[in-house]
Homo-oligomer: A and B are copies of this chain.
Amino acid sequence: MTDTIEAQSNKAGKTVSESAAETTVVMLPSDANPLGNVFGGMILKHVDLIAGLVAKRHAGHANIVTASMDSMTFSKPVYIGNALILKARLNYVKRSSMEVEVDIEAEDLNKSQKVYTGTAYVSLVALDEKGKPIEVPKLILQNKEEEERYAEGESRMQIRLDNRKKRKIGV
């Protein structure tokens, strides 16, 4: 019976807030590059993990793989001892494809200051057990901001498809 309810809610879609996630990770010496900073790849690892979590929350039983990560700028260094704060939410969903936006802040815990570090757009795909794409619940939009994000996500998804065809430059 739980399955039936879940199946229905899948048909009916899920809201953005149902899958949104937040994580706060203190950067430890084991996350450092030889300079003592946190290296960019470590941040991207956390970005990918939380994007996968959000997509999985939305998709339920399906398997989730990362299809692409858009260009990301690291505007400020993140230091050991900082808290890395990642806020992740779905912008756009179409059939088996999802775009998750991850906003990244670094918090200097000594000075109680948060610094915006960057935004990542991760696109993910839901697969069934044989690796075939599988449809996920629709994204229920509940306000103007979510509708705008959806439209922007749709246009980025189109750009990704165009770039994949051109394959000329990696941007």
Contacts and interface: CB of A to CB of B under 8 A. Distances in A.
A166 to B, nearest CB: 12
A10 to B, nearest CB: 10
Interface in A1-35: 2, 6, 21-35
A interface, over-half SS: mixed
* Number of copies of this protein chain within its complex: 6
A25 B45 CA distance: 12
A83 B53 contact: yes
A35 B64 CA distance: 8
Contacts of A45: 39, 41-42, 44-45
A111 B71 CA distance: 32
Contacts of A57: 83, 107, 109, 112
B37 A170 contact: no
A158 B31 CA distance: 31
Nearest to A109: B56
A111 B84 CA distance: 29
Interface string A127-171: 000010000000000000000000010011001100110000111
A109 B53 contact: yes
A96 to B, nearest CB: 15
Nearest to A81: B34
A115 interface: no
Interface in A72-94: 72-74, 77, 80-81, 83
Contacts of A110: 60-61
